[in-house]
Amino acid sequence: MKIKYLGHSCFLLTESTGTAIVTDPYDGSIGYSMPAVTADAVTVSHRHYDHDNIKAVSGNPVILDKEQGYELPGVVINAINSSHDDAGGALRGENVIFKFRMDGLDVCHLGDLGEECSPELIEAILPVNVLLIPVGGNYTIDAKMAKEYVDRLMPDVVIPMHYRTKGCELDIDKVDAFVSLCEDDGAECEEAEGEIELTRDDADGEVTRLIVMK
């Protein structure tokens, strides 16, 4: 499978037979514009402008935004309800976590997760090979809580998202604190430009790889 980072919490996930999924498309209000992209489906973790710009995705995609199971050619998807804050959703509402089974890998996109790590949520999410996790804080979990999720979920590959980058006007932190926590704990940290390709060989369980995508 291929993973292309489009910025903020938006990724293009492509299964080997060609099925393409875009996660949490954003609009230009965050400070930069989303690139042109075509997909078979779009997942929306919640209805905020920086996560639900569905019209930016061409190809007449199916919209997935509720807690239920979905199936696309070559891909099985499970959606899990969670909270966008640490007050049970009272502050910012609900958040939908999406798990994708693609090419033998379990890929989890946590959306704008804001709640603290709990045994119940961890059990609902497991297993995870590739974790796409917010780390910028303020509107989501911060670097410290994100590291706790990584420790509990034990993914093979971690890709941070929803952090402050060049041009971003949102009041969120940079990725640096999260990277430092992972490096201090022995994770293999690397940067990647554009698109990466992952296979079952990347899920060997030996060491956690942190990939910061540009």
List, in sequence order, every residue forming a beta bridge with 82; answer none if it has no partner: 95
pTM of the entire predicted model: 0.95
pLDDT 10s digits, 128-142:
999 999 999 989 999
When the pLDDT of each residue in the chain is averaged and rounded to a whole number, the result is 92
Structure tokens at 163: 């952090």
In the chain the first and final C-alpha atoms are separated, in Å, by: 18
Residue with tokens 């929803």: 162
Res 90 pLDDT > 80: no
Q: In terms of Cα–Cα distance, which of 114, 97, 101, 131 is closest to 211?
A: 131
Domain that holds residue 99: 2-213
Give exposure, 69-86, as e/b (b: 16+ Cβ within 10 Å).
ebebeebebbbbebbbbe
Res 92 pLDDT > 70: no
pLDDT 10s digits, 7-61:
999 999 999 999 999 999 999 888 889 999 999 999 999 776 677 899 999 999 9
pLDDT 10s digits, 151-178:
999 999 999 999 999 889 889 999 999 9
Residue with tokens 């514009």: 33
User: Region 108-125: what's the mean pLDDT?
Assistant: 95
pLDDT at residue 25, as a whole number: 96
How many domains does the structure of the chain reveal? 1
* CATH number of the domain within which 80 lies: 3.60.15.10
